[in-house]
Amino acid sequence: ICKVLQGFSLSPTQLHRRLFSRVGAPRWNDHDSPEEFNFASDVLDYWAQMEEEGKRGPSPAFWWVNGQGDEIKWSFRKLRDLTCRTANVFEQICGLQQGDHLALILPRVPEWWLVTVGCIRTGIIFMPGTTQLKAKDILYRIQMSRAKAIVTTASLVPEVESVASECPDLKTKLVVSDHSHEGWLDFCSLIKSASPDHTCIKSKMKDPMAIFFTSGTTGYPKMAKHNQGLAFRSYIPSCRKLLKLKTSDILWCMSDPGWILATVGCLIEPWTSGCTVFIHHLPQFDPKVIVEVLFKYPITQCLAAPGVYRMVLQQKTSNLRFPTLEHCTTGGESLLPEEYEQWKQRTGLSIHEVYGQSETGISCATLREMKIKRGSIGKAVLPFDLQIIDEKGNILPPNTEGYIGIRIKPTRPLGLFMEYENSPESTSEVECGDFYNSGDRGTIDEEGYIWFLGRGDDVINASGYRIGPAEVENALAEHPAVAESVVVSSPDKDRGEVVKAFIVLNPEFLSHDQEQLIKELQHHVKSVTAPYKYPRKVEFVSELPKTVTGKIKRKELRNKEFGQL
Ligand code: BCO
């Protein structure tokens, strides 16, 4: 099939049929995929055509509720219409073109899906971000990417406005809002008057599609750039086994739209299979709402961070036997074996773990019908070849701790990020022999199951958020009370891990009420950077442990937190 597809131009229907009719699991990689692929024309338009031919059932492609009585149900035909209008707005009104960067900072509103697919239709590179971002975070993203456009929500208009003058490349500001904002284009009214006729670009598999900002050990987030392979990967027979979605399934992925998990779980995975994407607006996370929604709507599959399952289990509700739910998946941080057991006991359902990063999408998983080994993140998902490696890229034997690596030589696999945009040094830093070094530590057993052990560097994974310590330390440094600080990960029974700050106070603050000062510092961090990064634990110390050369012994502090000293 690989040879047949190569070099041939297939219609969406032909391409889809050829891929779906394949029995078995060929080992797709960069060399044996079609040269051209576009998720909008090859997937979404295919299903729209199936609907027109009466070959897809009546279930919506997109089902959105907000808990206040508002509901939207769109078919694939409707989505085709709306995303073509969006593409026309981008090209004709905003003058954007293939390769331009667009910052997409929206909550879980239907327009997020329109913008994403509109970008794919036109080749505009979309860069999702969480609505928790503050002015400085947004400024950094726009300047680093030289974004020409931003689409955001009313509440973030003032944040963007406060930095817009420092962003000379930013020419187009679109807002999704009920009212008008001076200097901003109104996205909803523009798509109403735009034409629904649009010719989708013929994108090459290697053409960039999206950029995800991802935190590192030092400095500010890096830009992990993905090509169309991120979307094509969901076609691969092995990936189809991940959730085994049918057109009749209704999948609720609860990830914030700012993360790669949402691009994969709220869009690519479900629509590749032609099933329904279910979304609750969830402006504020509330486990009670999760339980209510799972009882009220015919959801068959859900995908959420371990913290969500954990918080649902902490609810007083005695009945967690959801009437239609068949399959649960989790990713973003570690699921504890006891949480797995409790969920199974109370819902009758297993939780299947996936593992990945902004650089990799889902790289490892317990596929739907695979044996679950509690505490393991499952096996490598093709075409990724995952191995445990040492610092030089040598493969380590089973049950030996090392770095989780993905083979990139001789062939970089489809679905792995292309590079860190504008940062060849960062890109080469994570290349280790024949492998991409994820920076995560793990082991592999004789059956190929991987066991995630934590980060090998100082990056913090708290509640599924990847947080660079420097981002928090820089925010703390802006407060007059802070002379010096160091931020590490610390264990937490509710959230797995949380951010902990060790702070040396400036002398004039030593006499302040400590409880009050902690609250003030937490509030300060929440106000200058995305609030999910704020230190939930704070300890004031008289000095920080340092080496003779003055380097902070970060590892010592972290190990102490985890009782390893
Ligand atoms: O807990 P606090 O109340 O003290 O603080 C919370 C919020 O209240 C606060 N906040 C949010 N917006 C704010 C604000 N404060 C001021 N101004 C605003 N505009 O900030 C804190 C945010 O923390 P949170 O998001 O952890 O809070 P929450 O609501 O308890 O959410 C719990 C979870 C579990 C839903 C949340 O932590 C979560 O969604 N985690 C998962 C993240 C995720 O999806 N990761 C996947 C990344 S992609 C990946 O790993 C690749 C996999 C293939």
Nearest CA to ligand 1 atom 11: 531
Tell whether the torsion through CA atoms of 157, 159, 165 and 166 is positive or negative.
negative
pTM for this predicted structure:
0.93
Q: What is the pLDDT of residues 266-322, one digit of tens each?
A: 999 999 999 999 999 999 999 999 999 999 999 999 999 999 999 999 988 789 999
Indicate whether residue 265 lines ligand 1 (CB < 6 A): no
How far does the centroid of ligand 1 lie from the alpha carbon of residue 244, in Å?
29
Q: Which atom of ligand 1 is nearest to the CA of 531?
A: 20
Residue 238 banded pLDDT, cuts 50, 70, 90: confident
Nearest CA to ligand 1 atom 26: 532
User: What pLDDT, on the 0 to 100 scale, is given for residue 14?
Assistant: 58
User: What pLDDT, on the 0 to 100 scale, is given for residue 267?
Assistant: 98
Q: What crossing angle do the helices spanning 110-122 and 76-88 adopt, rounded to 10°?
A: 60
Q: What is the pLDDT of residues 422-462, one digit of tens each?
A: 999 999 999 999 999 999 999 999 999 999 998 888 999 99
204/25: higher pLDDT: 204
Q: Under DSSP, is residue 220 helix (H, G, I), strand (E, B) or coil?
A: coil
How far does the centroid of ligand 1 lie from the alpha carbon of residue 106, in Å?
15
Is residue 26 pLDDT above 50, yes or no? Answer: no
**Residues 6+ positions from 171 with CB-CB distance below 8 Å:** 94, 95, 148, 149
Is residue 16 pLDDT above 90, yes or no? Answer: no
277/23: higher pLDDT: 277
CA 405 to chain centre: 20
Q: How far apart, in whole angstroms, are the C-alpha atoms of residue 151 and residue 149?
A: 7
Indicate whether residue 255 lines ligand 1 (CB < 6 A): yes
Nearest CA to ligand 1 atom 14: 531
CA angle centred on 476, ends 472 and 477, rounded to 5°: 115
Indicate whether residue 45 lines ligand 1 (CB < 6 A): no
The structure tokens listed for 367 are 């596929």
Nearest CA to ligand 1 atom 37: 463
Distance set, CA 168 to CA 89, 278, 445 (Å): 21, 38, 52
Indicate whether residue 261 lines ligand 1 (CB < 6 A): yes
What is the chain's Cα-based Rg?
A: 23
Q: Under DSSP, is residue 272 helix (H, G, I), strand (E, B) or coil?
A: helix
How far does the centroid of ligand 1 lie from the alpha carbon of residue 535, in Å?
13
Q: What is the mean pLDDT of residues 28-37?
A: 70
Residue 565 banded pLDDT, cuts 50, 70, 90: low
How far does the centroid of ligand 1 lie from the alpha carbon of residue 532, in Å?
5
Window from 124-128, 369-373, 405-409 with minimum mean pLDDT: 369-373
The structure tokens listed for 339 are 């949480």
Whether 173 contacts 149, CB under 8 Å: yes
Q: What is the pLDDT of residues 363-396, one digit of tens each?
A: 999 999 899 999 999 999 989 999 999 999 999 9
Q: Please give the torsion angle defined by the CA atoms of residues 101, 106, 110 and 116, in that order, rounded to the nearest 10 degrees.
A: 20
Indicate the average pLDDT of the chain: 93
The structure tokens listed for 526 are 């929440």
Q: How far apart, in whole angstroms, are the C-alpha atoms of residue 163 and residue 156?
A: 11
Q: Which atom of ligand 1 is nearest to the CA of 536?
A: 4
If one residue of 134, 254, 285, 384 were mutated to test the ligand 1 pocket, choosing by the most ligand atoms within 8 A of its CB, it would be 285
User: What pLDDT, on the 0 to 100 scale, is given for residue 409?
Assistant: 97
Is residue 503 pLDDT above 90, yes or no? Answer: yes
Q: What is the mean pLDDT of residues 146-170?
A: 98
Residue 5 banded pLDDT, cuts 50, 70, 90: very low
Burial of 186 (0-12, 13-18, 19+ CB in 10 A): middle
Residue 551 banded pLDDT, cuts 50, 70, 90: confident
Is residue 22 pLDDT above 60, yes or no? Answer: no
Q: DSSP letter for 332, please.
A: S
Is residue 8 pLDDT above 50, yes or no? Answer: no
User: What pLDDT, on the 0 to 100 scale, is given for residue 1?
Assistant: 36
How far does the centroid of ligand 1 lie from the alpha carbon of residue 455, in Å?
20
| Residue type for position 113 | W
**Residues 6+ positions from 83 with CB-CB distance below 8 Å:** 40, 44, 113, 114, 117, 118, 121
Q: Give me the percent of the chain exceeding a pLDDT of 90.
A: 86
How far does the centroid of ligand 1 lie from the alpha carbon of residue 464, in Å?
9
Answer left, alpha or beta for residue 197, where phi above 0 means left and psi between -120 and 50 means alpha: beta
Work out the end-to-end distance of the chain between its first and last CA atoms, rounded to an integer number of angstroms.
Answer: 55
Indicate whether residue 526 lines ligand 1 (CB < 6 A): yes
Is residue 23 pLDDT above 50, yes or no? Answer: no
Q: How far apart, in whole angstroms, are the C-alpha atoms of residue 169 and residue 141?
A: 12
Indicate whether residue 465 lines ligand 1 (CB < 6 A): yes
If one residue of 214, 360, 526, 533 were mutated to test the ligand 1 pocket, choosing by the most ligand atoms within 8 A of its CB, it would be 526
Q: Which atom of ligand 1 is nearest to the CA of 363?
A: 53
Q: Under DSSP, is residue 323 helix (H, G, I), strand (E, B) or coil?
A: coil
Q: What is the mean pLDDT of residues 538-547?
A: 95
Q: Which atom of ligand 1 is nearest to the CA of 260?
A: 48
Q: What is the mean pLDDT of residues 179-199?
A: 97
- Neighbour tally for 298: CB within 10 Å: 14
Residue 483 banded pLDDT, cuts 50, 70, 90: very high
Nearest CA to ligand 1 atom 53: 356
